[in-house]
């Protein structure tokens, strides 16, 4: 009888741990119904290289044809750049059907790093693999730029979507803005 009781207690303890783990995981889900939550999902999808999913999240257009026509090297280096980005989603302000979310973004300057890597490749008369290697080395040494930008949203058909291009966010993600 005592063995059954001890076994039941162990099973209950394991069950309780599983319930707690699921509850904690559920609490960490991002609220995709708020502009702040959408911003977090958008930025995380960009870091993961899931550009279409990122755009779909915020109601933005993803130009698949242009992406498909891009050189593989460019796609690879852009993916490395977004993956390197760090961000902090801060204050959300909502007024009627408009909203802004303050985001602090930190990354190196993609254009400067790419130009340096291409220059070195041309100087050495090497190929795309060399460019990728140089870019990766330079990326690790590049100065990180930090910018705080506002992401604009509007409510359309009861859903929050990007309001405009949010070009400052895109520029900050690639380290283009001057600190």
pLDDT, tens digit, 9 for 90 and up, residues 142-172: 999 999 999 999 999 999 999 988 889 999 9
Strand stretches in 56-144, DSSP E: 86-95, 98-107
Range 61-75 average pLDDT: 95
Residues 6+ apart with CB under 8 A from 109: 142, 143, 145, 174, 175, 176
Quick one: pLDDT at residue 30? 64
Number of residues in the chain: 179
Q: With cut-offs at 50, 70 and 90, classify the pLDDT of residue 125.
A: very high
For residue 89, what is the DSSP state?
E
Q: With cut-offs at 50, 70 and 90, classify the pLDDT of residue 55.
A: very high
pTM of the predicted structure, to 2 decimals: 0.80
Q: With cut-offs at 50, 70 and 90, classify the pLDDT of residue 35.
A: very high
Quick one: pLDDT at residue 33? 87
pLDDT of 19 higher than 70: no
Contact between residue 41 and residue 34 where contact means Cβ atoms under 8 Å apart = no
């Amino acid at each position: 009888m005592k063995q059954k009781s001890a076994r039941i207690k162990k099973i209950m303890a394991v069950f309780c741990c599983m319930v707690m783990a699921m509850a904690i995981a559920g609490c960490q889900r991002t609220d995709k119904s708020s502009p702040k939550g959408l911003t977090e999902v958008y930025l995380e999808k960009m870091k993961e290289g899931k550009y279409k999913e990122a755009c779909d999240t915020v109601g933005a257009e993803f130009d698949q044809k242009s992406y498909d026509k891009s050189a593989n090297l460019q796609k690879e280096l852009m993916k490395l750049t977004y993956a390197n980005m760090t961000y902090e989603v801060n204050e959300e302000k909502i007024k009627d059907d408009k909203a802004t979310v303050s985001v602090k973004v930190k990354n190196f300057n993609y254009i400067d790093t790419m130009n340096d890597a291409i220059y070195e490749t041309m100087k050495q008369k090497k190929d795309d693999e060399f460019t990728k290697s140089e870019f990766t080395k330079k990326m690790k040494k590049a100065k990180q730029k930090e910018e705080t930008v506002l992401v604009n949203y509007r409510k359309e058909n009861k859903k929050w979507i990007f309001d405009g291009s949010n070009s400052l966010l895109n520029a900050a993600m690639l380290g283009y803005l001057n600190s």
